[in-house]
Each structure stands twice: as structure tokens, then as C-alpha cells.
Amino acid sequence: MKSNSSVYLFSNSPKFNKESIPGFESFSKDDSELLYSTLVLNYTEIFERLPQNVNIISCLDNSDKEFLPEVLNNNRFQTIFGDTSDKKSILKTMSDKYFSKNDNNIIIFSDSIGITHEDILKAINLLQIEDEVIVLGKTNNGKVAFIGFNSFNKELFLDISWDNLTYDYLLAKVNKHENLIHVLGNYMMIKSIEDFKNLYVELSGKESLAYCSQNMHERFTNLFIEYKELLK
């Protein structure tokens, strides 16, 4: 019997091991780790607001095993590890272990921000019909923040190149199949200095507290101060 819904936080690279993480633009290793880890930790706070019947699974790189923060070791979170440079292998592990056991699955990409717990619940609600449904989370720069589905389409997932996903590319792949498609939008993906500048602007508004707590704001602010010259 299927067990409601699962949300997966999907990492495209190491996030906590300073020796293994990719450098973010001109950031130091320490500051790259602070940025990537804050994006991940921000989601742990959002996930804590979800009902207990929503399963939370973080999908991290093998090299992060010895550097996992305490919050990801508690009973609310399950964690699987894999080689993030081979994303289809991790997705196969996810499909074998989880997808078929859940009515609804939502994969959130960990370098995104702007998704609230209410957005996740809205996506789950859209998936709760008998027809095959896909919900896409679109960023304001044409990337993909998340993909939700209520029926695992192996053919579709194997057809997708999971590196540097764009919304237009993914939509074209999804449209090849019989699905109802819903799109939620206006999220952010932090991949470049331009994205970092946009994050600075977005977090200056009170609305951002819906998806980024004061504690997380302070972590990001340390980076904004350190790289203030880049924000001009």
C-alpha cells in the first residue's frame, strides 16, 4: 500500500565537505560551503513545517557522509547517499526504494530557494487525482526548482538529462507523454553571481521570511557582507 507523499531534496554536488564541493564563482572554499549548506539547511526548516505524513528524504553526495549536520540526523529526515556526478544512478536508487511506495513524489533541487511549505502542500494537492500529473516549479531565470509526479514514468526519467535543467527543455520532454501539467513559479536557482545579486535583493523584502527564516537570513548576510563589491 502506498504511503502518502514524499519530498526529496536532491543535491547536484557535495554540499558540506569543503574539500569536495565545487567553488561558487570567485568565492573561497569556506564561503562556497556556507552558501551551499545554507541553501540545504534552509529547506530543512521549511520541511519541518510539513505534516508528519509527508516523508522527507535528502539525497546527498557520498563525500558528505562524514560532514552531515545534526539536523539531518534526526528522525524527521531520511538520507541517501550517492555519486552526484551520476544523477541517473541516484534517481534509480530513489525509484527502487521510494517512488513506487508513494502516491506523490516531489523532487526539489537543493540550489533553489523561494519555495514555501505552502507551495509544497499546493503541489501535493495538485497531484492528488487519478490522472497522471506532473507539477513543475519554474524559476525566474528559466530553470527548474522542483518536479512533482504521481506516477513514476521510467521512460521519461531516463530521457531527461539532469545536469543544468532548464524549464523549456524539461517541459518539452514532459509534453511527449500523456500528463496533466501544472506550473508553479517565481522561484530562484542560485548558480551564478547574477543569481547571488538577485538573492540579495529578494531577501531584503519581508516576504522572504515565508521561505527563509531570520537565522538563515543571517547566514546569507555574512556572505553579502563578505562579497559586497560583487553586489554593486
pLDDT tens digits along 145-181: 999 999 999 999 999 999 889 999 999 999 999 999 9
Q: What angle do CA 194, 200, 204 make, to 5 degrees?
A: 150
C-alpha cell at 17: 565537505
The answer to whether 137 and 185 are in contact (CB under 8 A) is yes
The gap between the terminal CA atoms of the chain, to the nearest Å, is 54
How much is the average pLDDT of 33-56?
Answer: 96
**pLDDT at 164 (0 to 100):** 81
How much is the average pLDDT of 127-141?
Answer: 95
Contacts (Cβ under 8 Å, ≥6 apart) of 202: 114, 188, 208
How far is 86 from 94, CA to CA, in rounded Å?
Answer: 13
The DSSP H or E segment spanning 55 is strand 54-61
Confidence of residue 3 (pLDDT cuts 50, 70, 90): low
| pLDDT over 80 at 2, yes or no | no
pLDDT digits (tens, 9 = 90+) for 179-188: 999 999 999 9
How much is the average pLDDT of 193-210?
Answer: 96
Mean pLDDT of the chain: 95
pTM above 0.85, yes or no: yes
How far is 186 from 145, CA to CA, in rounded Å?
Answer: 9
The answer to whether 47 and 118 are in contact (CB under 8 A) is no
Nearest Cα residue to 42 out of 224, 215, 222, 191? 215
Phi and psi based region of residue 215 (left: phi greater than 0; alpha: psi -120 to 50; beta: remaining): alpha
For the chain, what percent of residues have pLDDT higher than 70? 99
| pLDDT over 50 at 1, yes or no | no
